[in-house]
């Protein structure tokens, strides 16, 4: 497995179950669902469910053929490497955009907190700076640590995208 492949596999393992990732790992060549079930020591119905999940995301495809004697269909499943890479990149870009928005809100907004929640200045003002849950006053919240962690995570995702050859507009 190349560096990109290992990186993509690592990200996939955070996005889906271990069983889904194991299916993708075993599809290094086209295989029948029965073969996958045997190799993974799983029930065929479970493997088919996992394959259908992956197919729903566009990460695998199949060819179907009909046995003329029995009338049963046989499915041969293939991994779609191009779509797997695209899936991971789309996830990372979406996560990056979400973090940018959150960072902007943290940097530009006044945040107030009590013992049980955090709210914007506008919300605190509407509640007369008293939390309706715990009846404690809202105090201005120092969010420097949150901002620092957001910037750190943004940097990690940007580096990962760069390793995958994605150009990032900042």
Q: Domains of the chain, with CATH numbers?
A: 3-79 (1.10.10.10), 84-163 (no CATH)
Supply 103's token pair.
């960072």
Tell me the pLDDT band of 89, cut-offs 50, 70 and 90.
very high
DSSP SS3 for 115? coil
In contact, 21 and 12? CB cutoff 8 Å: yes
pLDDT at residue number 1 = 45
What is the distance between the alpha carbons of residues 130 and 134, in angstroms, rounded to a whole number?
8
DSSP SS3 for 61? strand
What is the distance between the alpha carbons of residues 79 and 24, in angstroms, rounded to a whole number?
7
Instruction: Give the range among 11-20, 27-36, 93-102, 139-148 with minimum mean pLDDT.
Output: 139-148
**C-alpha pair distances (Å), 160 with each of 64, 151, 165:** 37, 14, 9
pLDDT at residue number 109 = 80
Q: Which one has a higher pLDDT value, 168 or 126?
A: 126
pLDDT at residue number 120 = 87
Q: Which one has a higher pLDDT value, 153 or 114?
A: 153
Mean pLDDT along residues 24-44: 95
32 DSSP β-pair partners: 76
What is the distance between the alpha carbons of residues 48 and 37, in angstroms, rounded to a whole number?
9
What is the distance between the alpha carbons of residues 12 and 165, in angstroms, rounded to a whole number?
17
Q: Which one has a higher pLDDT value, 34 or 109?
A: 34
- Average pLDDT score over the chain: 92
């Amino acid at each position: 497995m190349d560096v990109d492949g290992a990186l993509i596999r690592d990200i996939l393992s955070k996005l889906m179950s271990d069983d889904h990732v194991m299916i993708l790992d075993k599809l290094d060549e086209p295989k029948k669902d029965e073969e996958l079930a045997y190799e993974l020591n799983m029930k065929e119905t479970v493997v088919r469910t996992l394959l259908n999940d992956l197919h729903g995301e566009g990460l695998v495809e199949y060819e179907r053929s009909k046995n003329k004697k029995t009338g049963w269909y046989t499915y041969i499943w293939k991994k779609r490497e191009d779509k797997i890479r695209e899936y991971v990149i789309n996830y990372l870009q979406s996560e990056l955009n979400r973090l940018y928005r959150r960072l902007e809100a943290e940097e530009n907004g006044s945040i107030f907190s009590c013992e049980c929640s955090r709210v914007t200045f506008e919300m605190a003002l509407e509640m007369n700076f008293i939390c309706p849950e715990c009846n404690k006053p809202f105090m201005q919240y120092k969010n420097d640590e949150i901002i620092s962690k957001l910037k750190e995570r943004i940097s990690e995702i940007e580096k990962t995208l760069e390793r995958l050859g994605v150009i990032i507009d900042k």
